[in-house]
Amino acid sequence: MIRRISTKLLLAVLAAVVVPFLGFAAFVNWEMAERLSREVVLDSLEGLALDLASQLDGDLEDHARQIQHWSRDRICQYAIEESARDDQAGESKTTFRLLLGERFDEAKLAWPEYDLLVLIDGRGRFVVSTNLDEHGDVLSDERWSSLRSRAWSAEPWFADALAGRVAPLDWRPSRYLGTTASTHPENFELGWAVPVFEKPDLEGDDAANDAVPQPVIGVLLGLVNWTHVQNQIEPTVLKNYFQGLVGPDGKPSAYAWVWGADGDTIIAHRDIALYGKSVSRDVGLPQMVAAVQDSDGGLYPEYTFNGKKKNAAFRRCAGAERDGFRWVVGVGIDNDDIYAAANELRATLFKATGVVVLIAVLLTMVIARRTTAPIVELEAHTRRVASGDLSARVEVRSRDELGELASAFNRMTADLAESRTKLVRAEKDAAWREMARQVAHDIKNPLTPIQLSLDLARRAKAEGRADFDAIFERTTDTISRQVRHLRDIAADFHALTGAEHAKPQVFEAWTLMGEVLELYAAWAAELGVVVERGGSGGKVRVDPALLRRVLQNLVSNALQAMPSGGALAVSIETRDERVVIEVRDTGVGLDAEAKRHLFEPYFTTRSSGTGLGLAIAKRVIEEMGGSIELVDNTPPPGTLARVSLARYTET
């Protein structure tokens, strides 16, 4: 016995605690920690790639428009015209050129990312440029001489700009400022060659003048240092974004890069040694190049770089329509970082699961051993009491619940031994007296019309009356009705004694009430009673047959109270932990006398019936753990019957 109870307790703990915990741990591990971590990170990579591409697009567009804005300054036209006049006259008046050079220097100081602003006339000759180098120092004589003597008309972008188009200069090594040949970002540049249009004189309608196409008289070249682009893909923001994956002490591996418009050339990377390298050939990742060529944005296939498995997302930048270069922006992260949080959670779950299982098993074994001994002893003494030995006593060894149970058991057996005989005799006497009184009361009324009917039939036969047959038919019909009434009395009396055994079931209260209302639908229609339903219902656990009889009694009483029609309102709703059933009628209501005796056996306000209906209903509802009451309807007239039962909740 001890081993069986111990085993059951152990299995119960395993089933109730350990197994659900293991299931939860597995769910968290595989469904949330691993799968959701990957999905969230991949979605974040796509969003970051899109944000970075949008940022670059906006930045490049701003630079291109800024250079175009400078090209529309009339000082550019005046400087070109001044340069042409000086060449023809052999003079050197530099008023406008000096002024424009100062403006270029001011612009460079305001926007340090600009390496060079240079104005060239329509024949490709140098007009003016910034006087400061990429570090903000005055240009050396060597650089200044190089700019003045360069054959600008031979540059590939010059013809496009002179034709009135903005000519973009994609990523390239710096060519005009004499920088070194190393792969440092400072030694690369991008830019735009913008046409300078001749503006008409200020006299007349400016709007009309602007609408007329003007000739191109020169080109303004603006160059941006590549460091400006490289800084935008530095990993600081990305590392902060993914810091939560690796914890406060970890260093996220996330970083970004930029490829050229061909989708294969690296032009910006945290490893500047990769500048100009081919992704498909030099790096050995042709599958990534294929992904870029198939779509303008999305996820790269999982890949391995420098011995690390990685995942990454990409987005192609805007093209010439927005003064862009259709670069490809990528954002990647090591798989170790993606699953770092999942791995940490997995390890914690495994440790916690092992500890929980071990503690649960040990505690269950100890508790089972200490619990089963008094239970076995109590079980043995219970068998003695069940066999009729009321002298059995259990030794009390503790003051806990088992000790209280043993004490209660001893008191119970002592009380039983003392009062069993008196109680049995008293209950029998009381039951027989009550039975006799109630039976006599109930059968007295039906017996009287039966006796009178029999006497009438005898007299009619003795007197030889001509209407004997009619009298005989009437008297036998009366006797038959009274016999049926006696049967109803017997059935109600049987129900009142509680001889029926309850068979509780879980069901929706509205389902049962719907069946009852359907049963009385024809009667209600005949009386002209309108039936209204309301409430959201609720689940109960009672005997449906017994509750059906109670509801039938309440609905029947309500309909009988409205012989000339009215309204019957039925509602079922959940209030706190109770299911409340209400039946309202618009009948004559209840008087003070009826309210005092409603639930007493044999009390009725009608000429027919046994008077047991509400008494039976009260006993049945109270045995179900509920309550029943009849009160005046509000607003009057009418009666409200309210039944309250415990709401069933799953555990």
Q: Which residues pair with 592 in a beta bridge?
A: none
Residue 131 dihedral angles phi and psi, to the nearest 5° = -100, 0
pLDDT score at 119:
94
User: Residue 2: which pLDDT band, with cuts at 50, 70 and 90?
Assistant: very low
Q: Which amino acid is residue 350, in one-letter code?
A: F
Burial zone of 52 (CB within 10 Å; 0-12 exposed, 13-18 middle, 19+ buried): buried
pLDDT score at 298:
92
Residue 198 has pLDDT above 50, yes or no: yes
The answer to which of 54-58, 151-155, 512-516, 605-609 has the lowest mean pLDDT is: 605-609
Residue 80 has pLDDT above 80, yes or no: yes
Least Cα distance to 109 among 138, 128, 132, 129 occurs for 132
The residue with greater pLDDT, 422 or 325, is 325
Domains of the chain by residue range:
1-61+234-377, 72-232, 390-499, 505-646
Q: CATH fold of 1-61+234-377, please?
A: Beta-Lactamase (3.30.450)
167-173: strand order across its sheet? 126-129, 114-121, 216-225, 188-197, 167-173
Per-residue tokens: 361: 């098993």
How wide is the angle at C-alpha 350 spanned by C-alphas 345 and 356, nearest 5°?
Answer: 120
pLDDT score at 567:
92
pLDDT score at 31:
55
| Whole-number Å distance between alpha carbons of 111 and 650 | 70
Over the chain, what is the mean pLDDT?
A: 80
pLDDT score at 178:
61
For every residue of 190-243, DSSP letters joined together read EEEEEEEEPPPPSSS-HHHHHHS---EEEEEEEEEETHHHHHHT-THHHHHHTH
Least Cα distance to 196 among 106, 95, 81, 92 occurs for 81
Provide the pairing of β-strand 566-575 with 529-534.
parallel
Taking CA atoms, 155 is separated from 71, 120, 174, 193, 403, in Å, by 19, 12, 14, 10, 105
Q: Which residues pair with 191 in a beta bridge?
A: 169, 223
Residue with tokens 């505690």: 363
Residue 247 dihedral angles phi and psi, to the nearest 5° = 85, 170
- Find the length of the chain: 651
The residue with greater pLDDT, 68 or 2, is 68
pLDDT score at 442:
54
Ramachandran bin of 52, using left for φ above 0, alpha for ψ from -120 to 50, beta for the remaining angles: alpha
| Whole-number Å distance between alpha carbons of 315 and 92 | 52
Q: Is the domain 505-646 a CATH 3.30.565.10 member?
A: yes
The residue with greater pLDDT, 604 or 466, is 466
Tens digits of residue pLDDT in 238-262: 777 777 666 677 788 888 999 999 9
pLDDT score at 125:
93
| Whole-number Å distance between alpha carbons of 327 and 256 | 13
CB count in 10 Å sphere of residue 36: 13
pLDDT score at 484:
65
pLDDT score at 491:
58
Tens digits of residue pLDDT in 402-449: 677 777 877 777 777 777 666 656 655 664 565 555 555 556 556 656
Burial zone of 159 (CB within 10 Å; 0-12 exposed, 13-18 middle, 19+ buried): middle
How wide is the angle at C-alpha 75 spanned by C-alphas 71 and 80, nearest 5°?
Answer: 85
Report which listed range, 32-41, 65-74, 226-235, is most confident: 65-74
- Four-CA torsion 446, 450, 451, 455, nearest 10 degrees: 160
Tens digits of residue pLDDT in 276-306: 999 999 999 999 999 999 999 999 999 998 8
Tens digits of residue pLDDT in 519-551: 888 888 889 999 999 988 899 998 888 888 888
Domain at 390-499, CATH from 1.10.10, 1.10.1740, 1.10.287, 1.20.140: 1.10.287
pLDDT score at 70:
93
Average pLDDT score over residue span 257-281: 92
pLDDT score at 207:
45
Taking CA atoms, 436 is separated from 492, 495, 610, 628, in Å, by 15, 17, 16, 29
Average pLDDT score over residue span 70-99: 82
Tens digits of residue pLDDT in 577-598: 999 999 999 987 777 666 665 6
pLDDT score at 457:
79
* 72-232 has the same fold as 1-61+234-377: yes
pLDDT score at 440:
59
| Whole-number Å distance between alpha carbons of 475 and 467 | 12
| Whole-number Å distance between alpha carbons of 181 and 171 | 14
Provide the pairing of β-strand 308-316 with 167-173.
unpaired
Query: Is-contact 315 303, C-beta < 8 A?
Result: no
The residue with greater pLDDT, 266 or 33, is 266
Q: How many helices, marked H, and strands, marked E, lie in the chain?
A: 21, 18
Residue 168 has pLDDT above 60, yes or no: yes
pLDDT score at 600:
66
Ramachandran bin of 296, using left for φ above 0, alpha for ψ from -120 to 50, beta for the remaining angles: alpha
- Given this structure, which CATH class describes domain 72-232? alpha beta
